[in-house]
Structure 1
């Protein structure tokens, strides 16, 4: 594959494809176009009772783009990862340009978890999330879904469906249906709302009213 730039990557996402690496130390990338695509329905996020209790306890706080590099590093810090150096550089460049965003979860002053992805129009392409404390990655997803809803987004793409995501309400849809939804979402004149994220109690209340 020829070297990619941020603009190339944005065009690829708009066409429904995305790059990955085989491993951290593999410098090559390959394109992925799943037959079935994972998405999180923005109006049907599932919050377990235990997760609701943890969030209401108030031990977690959340920030938007407070530590994108730290979130990216946390997502790549595992035995097997598809995030190699070229991809990390691309994500950092997109963050500097305002196209990539992260939600960080903090506990006791430390980065406990987070999630990052790329926004175009009303579509958000979730890339990866990580957790260093119990439920921290789930908390990041909850705050992100709340932010996307308030911002007017229509599509939250998770690329693949994992058991972790399925427990929160994520589903799979066929490639053709995904591309129809993607086309409609890209046409929306919306963007991520700036500013501080609301406290957990407000987020849980909104999520409860929607479900």
Structure 2
């Protein structure tokens, strides 16, 4: 039996795959997207029909025997979007986010950088799309993220050199967790500074974790480490919604200690 996509909370992730998709659902609308983040999942849309067909070919047997869920209305192609909830989850404690010694020196000594929140959400998302294949940031997903941004759930942090945008990160907040979708840089280490800025601002309103979603050398390089999925889900399910972080511009050098 299928469920409406917004009912992600009814999905039992206790026995879901640890390192592959846990569900397929084609509904990328903003309500479905936010409900999925609140339930501990994030989307990976197929960038083209070939990748959509690959999803079905690789996972239809696991869907048939119930190891991977098929969620949503039958009139929306589920295999167009896979949904993930890794175990363990790579996370970065907000309180533990620090710039390394070399980067802190760079931030103190180079031409002054400033940071902001939500000043250029659309520009950050588009910069994260540039030159990346497969392009999982599809137009449908970007449109839904823009609507979540308008309602205060999707956030971006920006790094500026004078009036030039040189780095940024964006993600979706759910309770005490902020799930980072993507980041970019046009100056060395500007993305790390954006993450540090977002961690500082989110921590000031009670945020606990930044979720980096994918385990990689890049995410480990900013301090992410593994957290069992059960503990990650417990935090999501027990933490209240927080007020949005402060958005006023701030000097980046404050992050250098």
TM range (shorter): 0.7 to 0.9
Aligned to 1:105: 159
Cα deviations across residues 126-172 of structure 1 (Å, max 9, x unaligned)?
11101111111011011111111111112211111221221221101
How far apart are residue 189 of structure 1 and its match?
A: 4.4
How far apart are residue 24 of structure 1 and its match?
A: 6.9
- Provide structure 2 residue ranges, at least 5 long, that are not aligned to the other structure: 1-24, 53-79
Q: Of 190, 195, 201, which aligns to 2:247? A: 195
Q: 1:189 to 1:30 in 2, by over 3 A?
A: closer
Aligned to 2:8: none
Aligned length: 203
Q: Of 169, 178, 198, which aligns to 1:115? A: 169
Aligned to 1:140: 194
Q: 1:113 to 1:124 in 2, by over 3 A?
A: same
Aligned to 2:145: 91
**TM-score of the aligned structures, taking structure 2 as reference length:** 0.73
Q: Of 114, 120, 124, which aligns to 2:178? A: 124
Between 1 and 2, higher relative CO (CA 8 Å, sep ≥ 6) is seen in 1
Q: Secondary structure of the equivalent of 1:194?
A: coil
Q: 1:194 & 1:89 partners in 2: Cα distance? A: 24
Q: Of 62, 67, 79, which aligns to 2:120? A: 67
How far apart are residue 193 of structure 1 and its match?
A: 2.3
Q: 1:197 to 1:203 in 2, by over 3 A?
A: farther
8 Å Cα contact 1:122/1:155 also seen in 2: yes
Structure number with greater Rg is 2
Aligned to 2:88: 36
**TM-score of the aligned structures, taking structure 1 as reference length:** 0.88
Taking only aligned residues, the RMSD between alpha carbons, in angstroms, comes to 1.9
8 Å Cα contact 1:155/1:181 also seen in 2: no
How far apart are residue 14 of structure 1 and its match?
A: 1.1
